[in-house]
Structure 1
Amino acid sequence: MKIKKRAIGVGWLAPIIVILMAGSGWSQTGARYSIKLPGVISYELNLPSLVAFANGYLTEEGIDLTDFVVGSGGTLRTAMIAKEFDVGLFSFVHVPIARIGGSPWKAVLSTHDLEIFSLVVRSELKNKVRSVADLRGMKVGFSTPGAASWHVGSLFLKKAGLDPEKDLQYVSLGGDPGVIYTSLKTGKVDAFSAWEPTTTRVIEEGVAFPLVRIWEPAEHKKWIGEKALSLMMITREDVIKEKPDLVRRMVNAHKKGLSFIRARSSAEIADLVLKNPKTAEQFQGLGRDLVVKIFDRIKPGFGDGCLSRSGFEVEMKLAVEYKIVKRAITFEEFANTTFAGACP
């Protein structure tokens, strides 16, 4: 399996998208699918996919994964709207943006039931920055406009009374973890709306300290709520109508991946994905001990794949209240619970 970069300028690896193409030879239906999996290096988002590949769950469902393709959230959303892809993994905000724009997206499986973005600040500023409001006049980084890092970073700032367009420099860095790490280390930005592997790496190496610790329940409740429908597998209504078996197989493989993650220790999960040469490509430059710490931090957010109405309502309310999206959509517009089920 190859990792390919999609040429997009500031390539944030934001959503994971699945290009599904009918093949042949699957024993149950006579059809097999060959997929390319463009996506984000966000272990909260793609760990179920990596486990599903490494443990053979995708193969069991008649799916051959051939490539990972690196791209930015906004660019891949545009391609998904243009029907270049059929199925993918995205953060919450992309679904209402797409639907409001006229593309009938549907969430079909939850991959992570907690918000994933923390706000980290350069260690040199620890005595100066004690609250989010203290970032006034500074340079705060995010991935790309319209992506989840931008969305949640904006939420943190606005909740603290800051206007990202007027009270500070809100800087797009793209989604390359190496670029983000270097930008914090060199002072190109003073803070960043971070996800894994960046969050744990910069904290462990002393490059930055966490100002908002979203993995802590009290902090999550303060900034977001009890839970959140943060990350999910999506498709479009036309795909559900024309290729329901495709969607079902992808959901089944990822539910198996989620079950494995919940049942095994972080060390066991790390050994699985690091020892498989294909999935190990997603962890280049990271030692096993750091990977285990990352998994320890994010593991509580993995559920069974069901789509939470209350988690949706939390995210939708915040997105509208802080003007991240133009208007609200309903849970029924947002989700199709046929494949993974619904939960409170």
Structure 2
Amino acid sequence: MHHSARIASLLVIAALLVASCSGTGTPSATGSAGASAAAASATPRPPKDQVKLPSVVSTELNLASLIAYAKDYFGEENIEVTDFVLGSSSTLRAAMIAKEYDFGLFAFVHDPIARIAGSPWKMVIATYDREIFSLLVRTQLKDSVKAVADLKGMVNLGGDPAAIYTALQSGKVDAIAGWEPITSRVLETNAGYALVPIWDPKSHQEWTGSDHALALGLMTREDVIAAKPDLVKRMVNAHKKALDLIKTSAASALADVILGNSKTAEQFAGLDKALVVKLIERIKPGYGSGCLSKSGFDVEMNIAVTYQLVKQPITFQEFGNTTYAGECP
């Protein structure tokens, strides 16, 4: 790639990553989740640990947790997820730093931001092993915008999923940083096309320099690990079971699981099953075992430092705790 093109590509990556940290609105609980009835046992279990799980609306980030909820893998680990708390990632990060939540689903960059701010976070399991941001351009520009450089001077937007979809569809903006389910909605309605389809292995390699990245995961704080190591282990175990199911099941079967539960189906409101199946097929190759990848960490840390998304780098050992999900070979 020519130097100018490489610079343009990296600038777009930076813009997309900054978009991952933005968003509008305040957190909103999607409702109290009822625990499924446990079978009678001769030795009664202790009361379930109740956990609220904050996150943004991102299928890549949330799918393992949604599967774990719908299949009651949390219940099997004596955990009740009482709420999926949805909001902007920066607001939710502040709440977790303030110890309002013990766990959260977050993109890579929030871990070093929190640590540098004095709250030592740890990723304890990776929920997705690739970057998720595709560059989507409104359909009317398909003949004129064929490369990233063609977007110079046009209006680009990242942020709240509902807002950016509407803005692209109405022509208020020319391009957006999209992830799922927004990407599938844009493509299915022909509101836009993927100039950079990050789910494509060649595009991922070109734009990140690797075929994988430690992009998304379940985060907690060091004080939680110290005080409740068994709960952390069980939270990780529930997600491991879900990741195993994702890897070994057809997309249609996974769609049946999440759409068959009223709580998990909420994150796919307005999408029919056929589109949800397409969506899952598109992102399914990005799921792994949950192990933390040192090389994937290096990809993300390099981008974060190069584009000053963080004030300074942190180490892999500071970033994650591999006790529960392991370090990738």
TM-score (norm 2): 0.86
SS at match of 2:68: helix
* Equivalent in the alignment of 1:134: 150
* Equivalent in the alignment of 2:206: 222
Bigger Cα displacement from structure 2, 323-332 vs 117-126 = 323-332
Q: Does 1:203 align with 2:187?
A: yes
| Contact 2:27-2:92 at 8 Å conserved across structures | no
The separation in 2 between residues aligned to 1:202 and 1:310, in whole angstroms, is 32
The separation in 1 between residues aligned to 2:235 and 2:205, in whole angstroms, is 31
Match of 2:128 among 112, 115, 136: 112
Q: Does 1:92 align with 2:92?
A: no
1:66-215 equivalences under 5 Å are 66-143=82-159, 174=160, 177-215=161-199
The separation in 1 between residues aligned to 2:314 and 2:44, in whole angstroms, is 37
Report percent identity of matched pairs.
56
TM-fit CA distance, 1:267 = 0.3
The separation in 1 between residues aligned to 2:322 and 2:85, in whole angstroms, is 28
Q: Does 1:50 align with 2:35?
A: no
Identify if the C-alpha distance between structure 1 residues 312 and 28 changes in structure 2 by more than 3 Å, giving closer, same or farther. Answer: farther
| Contact 1:185-1:207 at 8 Å conserved across structures | yes
Bigger Cα displacement from structure 2, 126-135 vs 212-221 = 126-135
Q: Does 1:292 align with 2:277?
A: yes
* Equivalent in the alignment of 1:302: 287
| Contact 1:54-1:272 at 8 Å conserved across structures | yes
Unaligned ranges ≥5, structure 2: 1-21, 31-39
The separation in 1 between residues aligned to 2:251 and 2:92, in whole angstroms, is 30
* Equivalent in the alignment of 1:169: none
SS at match of 2:262: coil
Q: Does 1:319 align with 2:314?
A: no
| Contact 1:108-1:232 at 8 Å conserved across structures | yes
* Equivalent in the alignment of 1:34: 50
| Contact 2:23-2:89 at 8 Å conserved across structures | no
The separation in 2 between residues aligned to 1:234 and 1:77, in whole angstroms, is 10
Structure 2 counterpart of 1:102, one-letter code? G
TM-fit CA distance, 1:327 = 1.5
Identify if the C-alpha distance between structure 1 residues 9 and 270 changes in structure 2 by more than 3 Å, giving closer, same or farther. Answer: closer
Identify if the C-alpha distance between structure 1 residues 107 and 9 changes in structure 2 by more than 3 Å, giving closer, same or farther. Answer: closer
* Equivalent in the alignment of 1:245: 230
| Contact 1:39-1:71 at 8 Å conserved across structures | yes
TM-fit CA distance, 1:36 = 2.3
TM-fit CA distance, 1:108 = 0.4
Give the number of the structure whose residues are more often helix, by fraction.
2
Bigger Cα displacement from structure 2, 46-55 vs 35-44 = 35-44
TM-fit CA distance, 1:31 = 4.4
Unaligned ranges ≥5, structure 1: 1-7, 17-24, 144-173
Give the number of the structure whose residues are more often strand, by fraction.
1
Structure 2 counterpart of 1:135, one-letter code? L
TM-fit CA distance, 1:321 = 1.6
The separation in 2 between residues aligned to 1:289 and 1:54, in whole angstroms, is 19
Deviations 1:151-208 (A, max 9, x none): xxxxxxxxxxxxxxxxxxxxxxx2xx33222111112221111100111221121100
Bigger Cα displacement from structure 2, 317-326 vs 187-196 = 317-326
Deviations 1:254-281 (A, max 9, x none): 0000000001000000011111122111
TM-score (norm 1): 0.82
How many residues get paired?
296
TM-fit CA distance, 1:29 = 6.6
The separation in 2 between residues aligned to 1:326 and 1:108, in whole angstroms, is 23
The separation in 2 between residues aligned to 1:13 and 1:58, in whole angstroms, is 23
SS at match of 2:219: strand
| Contact 2:107-2:215 at 8 Å conserved across structures | yes
* Equivalent in the alignment of 1:166: none
Structure 2 counterpart of 1:60, one-letter code? E
The separation in 2 between residues aligned to 1:257 and 1:250, in whole angstroms, is 11
